[in-house]
Amino acid sequence: MEEYPLYGGAITTVLPHDVIDVSKIRQIPDTQEVFLIQTPSEDANLDISIIIDLLEMVPGWKDEAIGEHLKDLVEPQDIEWGPKLVFEQENLVSYLLSTHKDTPQGQYQILMSVNILRFSNIETDILITSNIPLKTPVKENEKNSYVEEQLQLIKLVSENIKIKDYGLFGI
């Protein structure tokens, strides 16, 4: 893991040293930073994505905020289980949910780790989403070391976000 500049260095976090910055491959919206972590599999459908998105703060907290932000991420009828609270800190909350993706290679379960980091002083929610594709589905309360490892990674990314330049927010 190493410190990585986001949004031109206005924000930093830690990311794995071998992460792929998707903005070097295709255009990404100005409010987002998107990264890929390639898995050892030759199946690109199993690559993990991390999306960091600057969003206007929504009213409420925890269940209300996650519900509001999920509307933009996944259709309610596509959620197989969750959102389930994973951890909570002062201004950071993390949820896990399951959805799926159909591909020519078959159906994949997609575990979405959705973390909300709130900055009320700038009326901004930083949404950190990780999509963890799995060929072999896991149940809601099932322990899986690979999934646990990925959840620890996204927790580290979320906990290490630091705003270095508030000018990004017009302050």
CATH topology of domain 2-163: Protein Transport Mog1p; Chain A (3.40.1000)
Q: What is the pLDDT of residue 45?
A: 76
Phi, psi of 104 (to 5 degrees): -60, -25
pLDDT in tens, the chain (171 residues): 999 999 999 999 999 999 999 999 999 999 999 999 998 877 777 899 999 999 999 998 877 888 888 888 888 888 888 889 899 998 999 999 999 888 777 788 999 999 999 999 999 999 999 999 998 888 888 889 999 999 999 999 999 999 999 999 988
Q: How many Cα neighbours within 13 Å face the side chain of 124?
A: 17
Q: Where are the domains of the chain?
A: 2-163
List the beta strands (DSSP E) in the chain: 2-6, 11-15, 20-21, 32-37, 48-56, 81-88, 92-103, 106-119, 124-134, 162-163
- Whether the upstream peptide bond of residue 104 has omega within 30° of 0, thus cis, is no
CB 140 within 8 A of CB 98: yes
Q: What does the angle CA 135 – CA 140 – CA 141 come to, to the nearest 5 degrees?
A: 115
State the CB neighbour count (10 A cutoff) for residue 130: 25
